[in-house]
Structure 1
Amino acid sequence: MDTVKLILELAVVLAAIVMGTRSSGVALGLWGGVGVFVLVFVFREPVGSPPVDALLIVLTVVLASSMMQASGGIDWMVSIAAKTIAKHPRQITLIAPLVAFLFSVGAGTSNILYPLLPVIGDVAYHAGERPSRPLSLSVVATGVALACSPVSAAMAAMVTLTDVAPYDFELIDIVKVTLPAAILGIIATSFVVRRLGKNIADDPDIQQRIKEGSIPPPNAHSRATVAVEATATGRNSALVFFLGVLLIVAFGLFKGLRPEDAKGEPLSMTPIIEMVMFVVGTIILLIGRPKVADIPVQTVFKAGMVSAIALFGLAWMTDTFINAHLEAITNSVGDLVQGAPWIFALGVFLVCVATTSQSTATRTIVPIGLTAGLAPAVLSGMWAGAFAGIYVLPTNGSQIAAAAFDTTGSTKLGSKLVDHSFFIPSIVLTVTTVIFGALIGYAFS
């Protein structure tokens, strides 16, 4: 009877995720809430705990980063990134993804990539490199970047799961594993990606466009430009935000810097992140003087609110389900994951594919991995690599934008779900980062 009940409740959880995914956006949170209702009122399970700490981190980080965006901070970051990419045109398939990755890590969002896409495509083309190569890997690299950022929504979800007893695996411990794993994964993947597709000189479609005059011939002396205005105010706002990120990292590295909690222990990182982001947002308000009324219409704010709502409903549902069947999950899944840890990575990967949300995948699968006894360091490394799964299907906004900005037509969205330009880079980056992450995680365990 208990087994039948577990299967029925699992069906409810999966159905809620599927229905939310079909509508996307805030619908993920709505259907998650419906799942909680069914588990509690129909199956009479004890209600789980909503992810309050994770939500508060997301809200404060989104507020601070939206203040930065409204002050021109992201525009300044884009201008710096564009100049860095343009300086190394011959190595663009490696440099562009690394730059996109690092700036996404610092900003806690992949939105910074959008204005960089035409720069990457233009520099690649005039350097004689097929644009789809750096464009595809740059897009996919921003996915794993969110597993390395102290201020991403996915990290907020993760740290509230691991920075508790008995794991006590803090933000800085996670980053020590995920950051090198992701960088190594990007480097390894770039060697594969630079061999994908025909070279410009051998591609009949590109050559036909050149012949028709729809695109100019490659010109090694052409200089790409970025259509954003970098201002001193934007620079100062971005620097304040980055200093806040560095301060969070410093508190993570050096526990002696933290105040004590009521038990006399160093304060956990969750309230520290929240407080630092409030201070950062306030300083930006004073020096950047953005229009407060414009904050809710910023792209970072909109994306962050959607992420928070999705996180709220789905994480609450997952917590309710897991706590109701903790012993069964531990006994059945534990041995499976311990014997084949890659199954955990596959779980995160598949939820990323289905929901295109790293924070949703985190709150859905990571508790199962922890309950199953997977070491937090190993779990973190594989968790990071699986994030590339959000680009396995050509449905993400940045994928569509990359294809649109590629005037040569080399970046394709395909027609059969797996024949697009991002499929192989996402699979290769997943596999390489998971492997590097697992190895580094075992070294730290």
Structure 2
Amino acid sequence: MRSDLDGRWTEDRDGDGAVTARRHRLPVWLRAPFEGRALREFVYVLLSLPLSITGFVFAVTMLALGAGLLITFIGIPVLALALTGLRGFGSLERVRARSLLGVDVKDPHPLQPRDSGPLAWMGAVLKSGVSWRHAVYALIHMPWAIFSFAVAVVFWTYGWAMLTYPLWFWVFPAYAGQDGIQLYGDGTHHIYLDNPFEIGLTSLTGLLVTLVTPWIVRALTTVDRGLVLGLLGPSRLVSRVVELESDRGVVVDTAAADLRRIERDLHDGAQARLVALAMDLGLAKEKLLEDPQAAARMVDEAHGEVKVALQELRDLARGIHPAVLTDRGLDAALSALAARCTVPVDVEVDLPSRPAAAIEGIAYFTVSELLQNISKHSGAARASVDVWRVEDRLLLQVSDDGRGGADVTAGSGLAGLAERLDAVDGILVVESPVGGPTLVTAELPWRG
């Protein structure tokens, strides 16, 4: 769901991905006390108190017992059991955060003991940074949960009690023997909220407190979100290692596919042509004495085949890494690329220096594939390529005025291109509504 600045408009996405706009009669600050999100956050704060106390007591008891028994071997399994229990407690907290706070927190990576057996398992638990982060969470979350519980309960109860005071103030004269809520009293003076003006003012104050309470609770749960994401989620370092391993796999697969393409092009193209050329020259050699004119014609045809084979080899070499890119950089290489495109292309390159050779090559082949897509699928009349640098990032945009409809998620060549860019911490963004125009933006690290 997405809302505008004053909260009157929201966009809801149904199961088929269709977006419908819905207008609310009340702004968000008036609706907040009655929305499901406010109730879920309040329930989260209420549940945090007993759960955090339970986790704190378990953590302190088991960790202290394990640390005290480290003088003997018994302390090691006790600490391992304590950390395992805290990991289970963390799993419960992640589920609670997902369901009540809407926190998109992933489960940490599971333990991977090097060997089988209890000793390997205990070693993996004790060496795991995730286990100790769960212990830290259990220790520091309890004081915050107590504070959040007290603040949230006070604001909710006092706000609604004052807001509904006109409905139940009669309880005091009927059953408590006083005119209303007592604000002040001593031996001689008493101040009660008992006249219509004071009752109305109390209700108005309660309304203000009730309206501000969801935002106070939301601010409190923001801290909880940070704690869950920072301490109970996967380690950033481990996630980065997994991401790099995945990217490395993409790079290896891409390199293997490129090698297979080069092998196929050589086998089906230049190699086959050179084999035929060798056979023609052999025949010409045999006819050289008995039919010189026929031999001359065959040599002339072979000369033409040599030119074609050389052009195929040049095209193949250009597909591996064009010489103009190495010698003169992106500006000249992209201009040469645009000149071969079937659609008129305007090229503008504004770079103070040259990026790393690998990044330069990726940028070149990204533009090359995008221009090929424009030639084959877009039906465009014109296209443009813009390349520039922003701080430590290389940005390039390829646009066309074609029919649009390009989609990265459709499993097309754009998906493979996005994977290649992601392998070097790059980003590919495609804006291509049906009917056009299409704008593809790629962002790469500079690494010059």
The answer, yes or no, to whether TM exceeds 0.5 is no
TM-score (norm 2): 0.18
- Structure (1 or 2) with the larger CA radius of gyration: 2
Q: Which structure exhibits the higher relative contact order, with contacts defined as CA atoms closer than 8 Å and separated by 6 or more residues?
A: 1
Higher helix share: 1
